[in-house]
Structure 1
Amino acid sequence: MSLKKKLIIISVIGGVLVSFLAFITVHFLTRKPKKLPSSPSLQNRSFSMTYGDLHEATNGFSSSNLVGKGSFGSVYRGSLLNFEGPIAVKVLNLEKRGAAKSFVAECNALGKIKHRDLVKILTCCSSVDYKGEDFKAIVFEFMPEGSLENVLHNNEGSENEKHSLILSKRVDIALDVAHALDYLHHDEDQVVVHCDIKPSNVLLDEDMVAHLGDFGLARLIHGSKEHSSKDQIDSSTIKGTIGYLPPEYGAGGPVTPEGDIYSYGILLLEMLTGKRPTDNMFYENLSLHKLCKMKIPEEILDIVDSSMVMPTVEDQTWIVENNIKECLVMFATIGVACSEEFPAQRMLTKHVILKLLEIKQKLSS
C-alpha cells in the first residue's frame, strides 16, 4: 500500500474518532443533570424500615404516644428525621390470631390504591425487635383530628372534644366516605371490599376532611362488572364489627361491595342520631335502622343529634327551619336506603353521592 493511501486511511479514521469524541463531549455537557429529591420519601423506602427506626420515631412506643387501639394492634404517633409532619405507626399484635394476615391484606390493598379520601400508607415494616421477635407495622400519614368515632361521641381525653359537627360538616364527611367507597368498588381491574366501615375507621385531617382507613379485613375481588363464583369470598372468615356487619354476612353469604354499603348506611344513621347501633336502647325488635325508618319524615327531630342543629358561638344562624328539617329527612332517607336488609335494595354509591350533593346545595342556598 502506498504512503498516500495510508495517510488517507489514517486521516479518515482520525476524523471519525474526533467526531465521535466531539459527540460524546457535547452529549455530556448538554445533558440535564438528574434531579435529586430535596428530602427522602418514605414511599421510596417501602418495606425497608426497621424496628429501630420506628422505636426511635415513637419514643420507644411510649404510652404517651399511643393514640388508639384496633382489632389487631395499637397506633402510635411519631416523627421521623427528614420527613415533614407527624406519622402514625400501627403496630400489629402478632400474638392475636389473624394479625399477620391482616398486615398482608392491608399492605396489599393500600399499596395498590390511591385516593384523596383514603388514608395514605407511607411504608410497611416487617422486621424483628430487640428481643429477636417478629415485628410488623404499617406507617401512615397522621390524621391530627383523630377519628369520627371520637368526634361523634366526645370520647374522654380525645384531642377533638372541642369539635361539634354541624349538619353541613357531617354531609361533607359522608361525601368523603362515599367517594372513597365509589373508588374502591368500581375499579375496572380489582374491586376492594373494605369489610369494616365504622366511625373509628374514618379519620379526619386538619381540615376535617375524612379519610377511610384500616384495611386489615379488606378483600380484593378481580373484575368490577361481574363477579364469578371463583371471585366470591366466603364471609364466614370475616370478623367485622357487631352492629355494622350486613345481615347476609351473618348467614355466610359472599363478601360484596353491597356489604360495605350496608355498613356505610349504619354509619350515616349514627352520624344523624349520635347513637351507636349497639346502644342499649336497641333490642330484638328495634334497631337503629328501624328507628330512623319509623321517624321519617314527621318525627325526624325526635331522633337527630341536637349538637348538629343547635347554634354555636361561631355561627348563630343554625336553627331548625323547614329547609334544615328537609335536609335531615333526606340524610336519614339515604342512611335507611343503604342499610336495607337485602343487598339488591341498597342504594348505589353514585346515587348516594348525588343525593348528598343535593343536600349540600340546599344547605348553602
Structure 2
Amino acid sequence: MEDGIPFQIVSELLEGSVSEVIDAAHSSTSYLSHYEQLSIVLQMTSAIAYLHGLKPRPYVHADIRPTNVLVTRDMKVKVADLGAAHLVESSKSAGTLSRQYLAPERMPPTSGHSSLPSDVYSLGVSLIEIFTGVGPIPEERNGQLTLMINRRRLYRICLMMITDEDKIADRPTSAGCLATLIREVEELARSGVPAIKRMAKGQFVGEGAGRRHKVVLSDTYHP
C-alpha cells in the first residue's frame, strides 16, 4: 500500500509491449511473420474472451490497445492495465483513454459507457494494427483493411469488429472472434506449417533471438 492505494507486484519478467514489438519489426528487414501475428492476436483475443466470459458477471477491459498488451521473452502475451476495467452491470465511462482505439459510441458527443461491444471494437482496431503494421489512424482505417483483403477470414472478422455505432448489434462477441482465429490457425495447421501446428496445440514459445528487440523470437518458429 502507498498513500492508501494498493499495488500488485508481478513476479515474472515482461519484456515489452506489443507496440514495441511492432516498432521493432518495422526497424528490421521484414515485418512480423504470419505466425508471429497470429500468435499475438490469438493469445490477446483469448484473454479478452476470458474477461468477457467471467461468471456471474463479465468484465469490460475498457482500454484495449497494443501498448497495454505485454509480451514475455518466450513470446507469451499478457493483457495488462486493467485499471479501467469494471463489471458490466456497473459500467461507467472510463474517462480519457486512447481515442484512436475507442468505439464510436464512446466518442463525443455520445461518450457512452464502455461495454463488451466497445471492447470488441478496440480489439478489432488493435488486431488490424498487428496484422498490417499500420498505426490506428481512424481516417486511414479503410486503407488499412485493404491490406488484409487477401486474408479473407481475418479481413471479414476485423471488418465486423469495427462496425459503426448504428451497427453495434452486428459486432461479433470476443468469443466469436476467438473462434474465427482458431479456425484460421487450424486451417493453416492442416497445410503442414510446423510452427502453426505447434500453435494449434497451444504452444507459443519461441527460442533464440530472431529480431532486434528484447523479446526473444525464433526463426525456426517462422513459416
- TM bracket, shorter-chain basis: 0.7 to 0.9
* Cα deviation, residue 219, structure 1: 1.4
2:210 is equivalent to residue 357 of structure 1: no
Length-normalised TM-score, structure 1:
0.46
Q: Using the alignment, how far apart are the partners of 2:152 and 2:25 within structure 1? A: 27
1:20 counterpart residue number: none
Counterpart CA distance in 1 for 2:78 and 2:155 is 22
Cα distance in 2 for partners of 1:292, 1:330 equals 15
Q: CA 1:148 to 1:135, structure 2 compared with 1: closer, same or farther past 3 Å?
A: same
> Residue 244 of structure 1 is aligned with which of 101, 110, 113?
101
Q: What's the C-alpha RMSD, in Å, of the aligned pairs?
A: 2.7
C-alpha separation between the residues in 1 aligned to 2:133 and 2:22? 6
Letter of the aligned partner of 2:171 in structure 1? R
> How far off its partner does 1:200 sit?
0.9
Q: Aligned equivalents of 2:131 and 2:25: distance in 1?
A: 18
1:148 paired residue number? 18
Residue among 173, 190, 207 paired with 1:348: 173
Which residue of structure 1 lines up, in the alignment, with residue 68 of structure 2? Answer: 201
Q: Which of 173, 186, 201 is the aligned partner of 2:40?
A: 173
Pick the structure with greater CA Rg.
1
2:140 match: 287
Task: Give, as a single letter, the amino acid of the residue that structure 2 aligns with 1:233.
Answer: S
* SS of corresponding position for 2:99: coil
Distance apart, 1:212 and its partner CA: 0.4
The separation in 2 between residues aligned to 1:146 and 1:162, in whole angstroms, is: 20
Q: CA separation in 2, counterparts of 1:356 and 1:259? A: 19
> 5 Å matches for 1:171-320?
171-221=38-88, 231-235=89-93, 237-250=94-107, 251-278=110-137, 286-288=139-141, 290-293=142-145, 295=146, 303=147
| Matched AA of 1:334 | I
My pick for the range that moved more, 328-337 or 175-184, is 328-337
Answer yes or no: is the 8 Å Cα contact 1:168–1:363 preserved in 2: no
Tell me which stretches of 4 or more aligned residues in structure 1 moved more than 6 Å.
none
Shift of 1:164: 5.2
Per-residue deviation, 1:148: 0.4
In structure 1, give the amino acid aligned to 2:2: S
Q: Tell me, which stretches of 5 or more residues in structure 2 are unaligned?
A: 192-223
How many pairs are equivalent?
186
8 Å CA contact 1:217–1:240 kept in 2: the answer is no
- Give SS of 1:336's match: helix
* Separation in 2, partners of 1:238, 1:232: 15
Structure 1 residues 329 and 141: alpha-carbon distance in aligned structure 2, compared to 1, 3 A threshold: farther
**CA displacement at 1:184 relative to structure 2:** 0.7
After TM superposition, give the deviation of residue 337 of structure 1 in Å.
1.2
1:253-305 alpha-carbon deviations (Å, 9 max, x no partner): 22211111000000011012111113xxx6xxx331x2245x2xxxxxxx36x
- For residues 188 and 136 of structure 1, the distance between their equivalents in structure 2, rounded to whole angstroms, comes to 25
Any gaps of 5 or more consecutive residues in structure 1? Answer: 1-125, 129-133, 222-230, 296-302, 305-324
In percent, how many aligned pairs have the same letter? 25
Deviation at 1:136, TM superposition (A): 5.7
Paired with 1:153 and 1:217, the residues of 2 have a C-alpha distance of 25
Q: Deviations over 1:76-126 (max 9, x none)?
A: xxxxxxxxxxxxxxxxxxxxxxxxxxxxxxxxxxxxxxxxxxxxxxxxxx1
- In structure 2, how many angstroms separate the alpha carbons of the residues matched to 1:165 and 1:187? 32
Aligned partner of 2:218 in structure 1 is: none
3-state SS, counterpart of residue 207 of structure 1 = coil
| CA contact 1:195–1:218 (8 Å) conserved in 2 | yes
Q: Greater relative contact order: 1 or 2 (C-alpha under 8 angstroms, separation 6 or more)?
A: 2
More helix by share: 2
Q: Distance in 2 between matches of 1:244 and 1:180?
A: 18
